[in-house]
Amino acid sequence: MPVSIVVGGQYGSEGKGKVAQYYTRLLGARVAVRVGGTNSGHTTLAHEHDRVVLRQLPTAALEPDVLCVLAAGSYIDLDILTAEIDRLGLEPGRLVIDPGAMIITSLDRDAEKVSDLKQRIGSTTSGTGEAVARRTRRVSVHDLAGAARELAPYLAPVRPLLRGMLDAGEHIVIEGTQGFGLSLLHSPHFPKTTSRDTTAAGALAETGLSPFDVENIVLVLRCFPIRVAGDSGPFGAQELDWETIAREAGAIGSLVERTSVTNKVRRVARFDPQIVREAIAANAPNVIVLNHLDHVDAAARTGVTARATEFVAWVEDEIGRRVDLLGHGPYSLNEAMYREPSVV
């Protein structure tokens, strides 16, 4: 069955949003599903050099004629969702929300802000974790999307909708959030994790589809993994600063990255093969994407270089898998890829 799941293999911000949008185009997918909550932002391109950060909608919302879906496993902040709908001019016919999705309330956000989560695990305090906890406690049906009058034009059961699309032979792309190293269930760094499972299986469960529906699992990596600011957990490799990366890459200007949710400077480290090997074991991907080659060699933004090729070869040797796609820089979505994807 034609379902493709895009997930992260490190600690988030691997470039899943751009890859999910790329695969939506590549496969001619008619449906894009975003899982999880608003505690992560996915950056993609509306057109060349026009960056868009989405915390609620799938990045394929920027593609014409793609149906966007927030499934029962989604956690919805009404203010953030409304702002993204307005920004993209998304009509009700382009968005479907399952009545069983959970609403993140102001009380959820406030509870996280006054807790010690930010200091203890580097939480973004988006309220997602508190909403997950309330759902686990099975507090009230009034906390579900079906009870939100603002969402009435978008509400419909998602599972039968997706099943009908699959029966008609349509492709579906599921856009996972964060990365394997943050999985509540499988990260080696608990409790420095997020509030849900971040594997392909976890994303699929939140969507309501069967493992037999999956055709592709796309694992996205970056050359230098990041974590959010603060005490967000250990890296398995040497932690660096952005100035060192820029100097080693021969970059002109700063490479400093900030988180799309809290706007704090991201922590960064050298590539750690161990966490990626664990992600491969848990997800069994048939496609691996390696982004940010320009952080290895700034000249790689305009094409493959010997230095970048050497780094990719080292990564492949360390993780025991071929890298299928390479991202050369922040605007590489519309550029020719170094290698052809294994699914075409």
Mean pLDDT of 251-265: 83
Distance (Å, whole) CA 176 – CA 42: 10
What is the number of other CB atoms lying within 10 angstroms of the CB of residue 263?
8
Helical spans, DSSP H, in 89-241: 106-114, 117-121, 128-137, 158-167, 200-207
Residues 307-344 have pLDDT tens digits of: 999 999 999 999 999 999 999 876 554 443 444 433 32
Q: Label residue 212 exposed, middle or buried (CB < 10 Å: 0-12, 13-18, 19+).
A: exposed
**Cα→Cα distances 233→30, 56, 107, 119, 280, Å:** 38, 25, 26, 11, 21
Structure tokens, 339: 């290698």
Which stretch of 29-38, 45-54, 188-197, 213-222 has the lowest confidence by average pLDDT?
A: 45-54
Neighbours of 210 (CB within 10 A): 12
> Which helix (H) or strand (E) element contains residue 16?
helix 16-27
| Phi, psi (degrees; rounded to nearest 5) at 153 | -65, -15
For 156-190, write each residue's pLDDT tens digit.
999 999 999 999 999 999 999 999 999 999 999 99
Q: How far is Cα of residue 129 from the mean position of the Cα atoms in its chain?
A: 17
Three-class SS state of 47: strand
Q: Where does 3-334 sit in CATH, by number?
A: 3.40.440.10
Cα(152)–Cα(335) distance, integer angstroms? 39
CB atoms within 10 A of CB 153: 11
Does residue 41 contact residue 66 with C-beta atoms inside 8 Å? no
Nearest to 36 by CA among 261, 230, 288, 256: 261
Which has more confidence, 235 or 276?
A: 276
Closest CA to 133 of 196, 66, 41: 196
Question: Residue 242's Cα: distance from chain center in Å?
Answer: 22
When pLDDT is averaged across residues 49-53 and rounded to a whole number, the result is: 74
Alpha-carbon span 319 to 184, nearest angstrom: 23
Q: Residue 203 pLDDT more than 50?
A: yes
Give me the pLDDT at residue 342, please. Answer: 36
For the chain, give every domain's residue range. Answer: 3-334
Give the whole-angstrom CA distance, residue 220 versus residue 51.
19
- Average pLDDT on 280-295 reads 96
Q: How many CB atoms lie within 10 A of CB 231?
A: 14
pLDDT at 158: 97
Distance, first Cα to last Cα, the chain: 15
pLDDT of 116? 58
Mean pLDDT, residues 274-302 taken together: 95
